[in-house]
Every structure is written in C-alpha cells, then in structure tokens.
C-alpha cells in the first residue's frame, strides 16, 4: 500500500512536470537553434557584403594607380633600364604613389613586377628575387582581370626601418592608356590582413559562441583569429571533412551558400559558408552546438532540479501519508501473526480516534477474545472426551485381566500339547502389551521393532506363508522413541499385496539406523511385484486416507500421524517400480 501511495503521488506530481518540461525544452531548443542559425546567416551575409564592399574599394584604388598616365610612363621607363639591375626604385614614383595611397590606411605597400625588374613602390620587399616575384607574373596571363593572392607573412624595408606583418595581395597587369596594349608589368597591392580580421571580428563581437574567418578557393586560411594558423589549410581547424565540404561549396546549390553540420574532435558544429562576389574567397561562420544549446541545457537543468525537489517532496509526503494508513495495518498484521502462533493474550490498543482503524481494532480484540474462549472450551471438551474414552476402554478391557487371561490360555495350550496355539497367544499378548502400553503416543524403537516381529510371528501361524524376514537395528537408536504402530501397517501391505502371486522366494528387510542429522530412518524393503510410481504417490494423499478410514491403518494414515506428531518435514517416502520391488522410507526426528 505504501508503494502504491508513493507511485500515485509520483504520477500526479511528476507526470505534468515532465510533460511540460519536455515540451518546453523541445520548443526552446528548436527556437534557439532557429534563432541562432538565422542570426549566424545574417552575420554571414553582412560580413560578406562588407568584405565585398571593402575589396571593391581596393580594386578602385588599384585602378586609380593603373589609370594614372604619369605613373604608367614612369614604370615603362624604369622597366626599360639595364636588365642586369633587377631591383629598381624612383623617388618620383614613390611620391606619386604615396599621394594616392595616403587616403586608405589599409594598404601596406604597392610594388611592380615584370620579367625584367622588381620596381619599388612605397615599401620595398625584404626578399625581391625572381623566386618570390614569379607567382605574381601569373597575372600577365589573366588579361585585364584582377588576381587575389592569399595572406602571407611579409617584411618591408626602407632607408629608416623595417616592419613585418600579415598581408594579402591584389594584382593586375598594366596597360598603355593610349592604345590599351599591355606593358608587361604587374602591379601588386599589399593590404594588411588585420583589416579584414577587424571587419570580421566586429560582426561577431557580441557573440562569443560564434567563430568567423576567411578562406580562399583552395581552402587556405586568408584571415583567422589565431595568426599562427593563417596561410594553413582549413583542415587544421575543421578537419578533412570540413575542408572537403567548404572547398566544394559551389557544388551545393550553385549560389555559393552552404550550411552543414560537422563533427570534429568529439565536438559538434553548425557551419555556414558564403562565397564572396569579388573573388573566390569564402566567409565561414562556425557555431558550436554545445554553445548553441547552452540556454536550453540550462533550462533542462532547472527542470531537473525542480523534478528532484518534487521527488523528494513526494517521497516525504508519501511516507507520512502511507505511514498514517499502513502503520495501524502493519501493527494489526503483527498481532494476527502472534495469534496464529498461539498467543491469545494480544490486544490492539486503540487511540480513541473513533476512526476506521479503532473500529477494526475493537472488532479484532472481540474476535481474539471469542476465539480464546472457544479454544478453551474445545480443549476442555476434548480432554473430557479423551478421559471418557479411556475410561470406557478400561471398562471394556482391563489390561491386567486381558494379559492374565491370555497367559492362562497359553499354559492350558502347552499342557494340552498345542504348542502353536501357545506361541500365537504369547505373541498376541506381547503385541497387545506394546499397542496399549501406558496410553502414550510414542514407544521406544526397540519396542516398535518387537511389535512388528510379534505381528510377523502371528501372520506366519495364521497364513502359513513362506516369506523371509530380516530385521536390522543400530544400537545407538534402540532407546530412542518413535510414534507407535508405524511399521505394522507397512509390513501388512507388503504381505497382502507385494507377494500376492508368489508362494516362495519373498523377502522383507526392516532396517533402523541413525541419520547424519541426528534423526531416525526406518526402511522397509521387499522384493515383491512393485507398483506404478503414480499409484504409489496416490497412496499418501488425503483421498487415500479417507478410503482407508473404514478398514485398517493405511499408509496415508501413518504418514498423517507422523506429520502431526513430528512435523511436516517428516513422514513416508515410497520408491517403487513394477517388477522391481518396493522400498518405503520413514524419516523421524530424534526423540528421547
């Protein structure tokens, strides 16, 4: 009942809470996911548009330089110089470029490269060999198109100092303004990487759970919060799977936009990719799902704490309520068990609450009182009945008179030479002496063995049968006591049924020994016809006992009497098979 009360309270208190908690958690998680994804996409588009605008400004600046006729003529003259002198510069060119570039502090330097010379613009590269300049000459094959180069760590020198920084480059070849013919010179505009890093960081400054960076079409990091990773593959940040998905962003829906979930280093991310319109660079936003669901997880924690509080409250409430109901019942159950064990002095103490338990307790007390009175009356009645029966038996048969009469018959038979009759009278006298005894329910093992031997002796004279009998008894059990008249019915059944179709060769063996646990074990074994095991089992049932009440003492009656005297753990066991004889075991406790 206590368990049912607790379960009922749990269901009423926790079920609505859990349902509401699960629904709230699911809705909040979905809403947060949608809002965070929408916010990320908005920031992504805003950042991409700002970058496109900023990169467009750099293109315009480049075109200001390339459309300046004076600058173009200066570069043509410098490029026509002696090829043996690779590194060239011109103060006039530097002054002219400084005027144009001064309006935009994002530009680190501008240089000019041909297959003949490296021409200094504003700052000079620290390394100006053909190996460093060769990649930029690829722009000569692009016609009038711009070419963007990923971020590199570059060092710039002049007559006063040197400085190093991360820069990305914009390159375009020069054309004559007069006839638009190529000059063979590439202009390289170096722009500080910090510019786009600041541009990206401003967009995500209000969201620490969002990471944003720039990669080029080959998957190299153009701009990244950690400078040590700039120029390396995006696989260093998002793994090979992230690299493959980002590099193939154009293969998504053809728009250059892509969103996909990603698992890397045991963490889950949502990745948004947007390709710039200016070049093949891409803006990548990465949101950690653990951070994305941080608020919903906090809500889940609150729900769990509330659920735990409700569970504790439900347990306490259930214990108190169930205790107030089950405690009187448990008390009454304990009293009933004491009554079952025979203690009729117990009474239920009422608390004058006049509730159902007080009424039940009063009824219980009345019932126990009545049972005690009835049992006392039954005991008196049975005792009186037993005394009356004994007196009637003594009135009918006085044992001393019976024994003396049988003794006179025996000696008369001996005088008249009727030896068999004398022997039968002697055996019957001993048998009756043991059977009647002093009116006790038990006799010694030695007396029980003697009783069955007397019975066998009388049966031999009576039926003139040829059944060999053998009795074996351990000395240590001789003086122990046993319920009387338990062997004779078993031996009688063996004589009447086991050898019904056999005139010779029959054998009955009776043994009595001490069991390892201290009890007594009687075994009556015969080599008769045996019986079906199911039939043997039915001989010990109540139905068999009822059928035998009108005749002699059957096996079921003997087994029932043993259990009544010794307990349910003791009694008769029959082992038999057709044609293999019968073996009956009687287990008894140690009785002295």
Is residue 167 within 8 Å of 190, Cβ to Cβ? yes
Please state the CATH superfamily assignment of the domain spanning residues 1-312 in this structure: PAS domain (3.30.450.20)
Question: Which has the closest alpha carbon to 183: 65, 87, 80, 70?
Answer: 80
Instruction: With cut-offs at 50, 70 and 90, classify the pLDDT of residue 551.
Output: very low
Residue 216: CA count within 13 A, CB half-sphere: 17
Is residue 449 within 8 Å of 489, Cβ to Cβ? no
Of the ranges 6-10, 14-18, 583-587, the best mean pLDDT one: 583-587
Any idea which architecture 468-588 has in CATH? Answer: 2-Layer Sandwich (3.30)
pLDDT at position 347 is 82
Q: What is the DSSP letter of 129?
A: S
Question: How many whole angstroms separate alpha carbon 110 and alpha carbon 121?
Answer: 5
> What is the average pLDDT value for the chain, to the nearest integer?
80
Average pLDDT (235-251) is 81
309 vs 314, higher pLDDT: 309
Instruction: With cut-offs at 50, 70 and 90, classify the pLDDT of residue 572.
Output: very high
Question: How many whole angstroms separate alpha carbon 575 and alpha carbon 138?
Answer: 108
The residues facing 175 across adjacent strands are 182
| Cβ neighbours of 308 (radius 10 Å) | 10
Residues 488-528: pLDDT tens digits?
Answer: 888 888 888 887 677 677 889 999 999 888 899 999 999 88
Average pLDDT (387-395) is 50
Average pLDDT (466-482) is 88
Residue ranges covered by each domain of the chain = 1-312, 344-393, 468-588
pLDDT at position 552 is 41
Average pLDDT (260-281) is 86
pLDDT at position 292 is 65
Q: Kindly tell me if the per-residue pLDDT of 398 is higher than 60.
A: no
| Percentage of the chain exceeding pLDDT 70 | 81
Radius of gyration of the chain (CA): 58
Q: Kindly tell me if the per-residue pLDDT of 535 is higher than 80.
A: yes
* Among the ranges given (49-53, 126-130, 209-213), the one the predictor scored with the smallest mean pLDDT: 209-213
DSSP per position, 241-291: HHHHHHHTGGGTTSSSEEEEEEEETTEEEEEEEEE-SSSS-EEEEEEEHHH
pLDDT at position 498 is 81
> Would the pTM of this model clear 0.85, i.e. be above it?
no
**Residue 332 Cα distances to 110, 327, 355, angstroms:** 102, 9, 15
Is residue 212 within 8 Å of 59, Cβ to Cβ? no
Instruction: With cut-offs at 50, 70 and 90, classify the pLDDT of residue 390.
Output: very low
Q: Kindly tell me if the per-residue pLDDT of 104 is higher than 90.
A: no
pLDDT at position 403 is 56
Instruction: With cut-offs at 50, 70 and 90, classify the pLDDT of residue 206.
Output: low
Instruction: With cut-offs at 50, 70 and 90, classify the pLDDT of residue 401.
Output: very low
Average pLDDT (464-481) is 85
Residues 440-470: pLDDT tens digits?
Answer: 778 899 988 988 888 888 777 766 667 788 8
Question: How many whole angstroms separate alpha carbon 497 and alpha carbon 105?
Answer: 127
pLDDT at position 172 is 94
575 vs 44, higher pLDDT: 575
pLDDT at position 420 is 66
């Amino acid at each position: 009942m206590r368990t049912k009360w607790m379960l009922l309270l749990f269901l009423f208190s926790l079920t609505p809470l859990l349902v509401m908690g699960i629904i709230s958690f699911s809705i909040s998680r979905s809403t947060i996911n949608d809002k965070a994804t929408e916010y990320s996409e908005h920031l992504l588009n805003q950042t991409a548009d700002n970058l496109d605008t900023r990169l467009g400004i750099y293109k315009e600046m480049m075109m200001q330089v390339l459309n300046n006729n004076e600058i173009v003529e200066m570069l043509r003259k410098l490029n026509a110089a002696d090829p043996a002198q690779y590194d060239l510069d011109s103060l006039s060119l530097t002054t002219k470029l400084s005027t144009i570039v001064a309006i935009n502090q994002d530009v680190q330097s501008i240089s000019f490269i041909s297959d003949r010379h490296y021409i200094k613009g504003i700052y000079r590269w620290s390394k100006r060999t053909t190996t460093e300049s060769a990649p930029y000459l690829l722009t000569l094959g692009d016609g009038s198109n711009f070419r963007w180069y990923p971020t590199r760590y570059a060092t710039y020198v002049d007559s006063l100092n040197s400085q190093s920084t991360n820069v990305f480059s914009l390159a375009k070849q020069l054309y004559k303004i007069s006839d638009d013919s190529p000059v063979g010179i590439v202009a390289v505009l170096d722009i500080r990487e910090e510019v786009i890093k600041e541009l990206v960081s401003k967009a995500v400054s209000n969201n620490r759970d969002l990471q944003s960076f720039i990669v080029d079409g080959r998957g190299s990091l153009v701009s990244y919060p950690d400078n040590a990773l700039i120029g390396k593959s995006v696989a260093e940040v998002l793994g090979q799977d992230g690299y493959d998905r980002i590099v193939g962003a154009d293969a998504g829906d053809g728009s250059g936009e892509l969103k996909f979930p990603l698992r890397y280093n045991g963490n889950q991310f949502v990745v948004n990719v947007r390709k710039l319109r200016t070049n093949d660079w891409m803006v990548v936003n990465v949101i950690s799902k653990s951070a994305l669901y941080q608020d919903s997880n906090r809500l889940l924690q609150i729900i769990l704490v509330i659920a735990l509080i409700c569970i504790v409250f439900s347990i306490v409430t259930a214990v108190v309520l169930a205790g107030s109901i089950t405690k009187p019942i448990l008390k009454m159950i304990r009293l009933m068990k004491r009554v079952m064990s025979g203690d009729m002095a117990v009474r239920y103490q009422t608390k004058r609450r006049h509730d159902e338990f007080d009424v039940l307790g009063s009824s219980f007390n009345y019932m126990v009182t009545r049972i005690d009175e009835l049992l006392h009356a039954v005991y008196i009645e049975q005792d009186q009945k037993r005394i009356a029966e004994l007196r009637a038996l003594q009135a009918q048969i006085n044992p001393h008179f019976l024994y003396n009469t049988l003794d006179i018959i025996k000696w008369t038979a001996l005088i008249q030479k009727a030896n068999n009759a004398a022997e039968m009278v002697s055996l019957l006298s001993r048998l009756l002496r043991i059977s009647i005894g002093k009116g006790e329910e038990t006799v010694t093992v030695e007396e029980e063995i003697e009783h069955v031997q007397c019975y066998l002796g009388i049966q031999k004279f009576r039926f003139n049968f040829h059944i060999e009998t053998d009795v074996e008894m351990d000395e240590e059990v001789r003086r122990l006591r046993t319920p009387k008249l338990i062997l004779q019915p078993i031996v009688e059944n063996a004589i009447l049924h086991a050898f019904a179709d056999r005139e010779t060769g029959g054998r009955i063996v009776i043994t009595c020994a001490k069991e390892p646990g201290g009890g007594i074990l009687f075994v009556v074994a015969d080599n008769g016809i045996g019986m079906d095991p199911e039939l043997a089992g039915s001989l010990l049932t109540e139905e068999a006992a009822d059928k035998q009440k009108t005749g002699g003492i059957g096996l079921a009656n003997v087994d029932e009497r043993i259990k009544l005297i010794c307990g349910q753990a003791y009694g008769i066991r029959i082992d038999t098979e057709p044609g293999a004889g019968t073996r009956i075991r009687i287990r008894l406790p140690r009785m002295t």
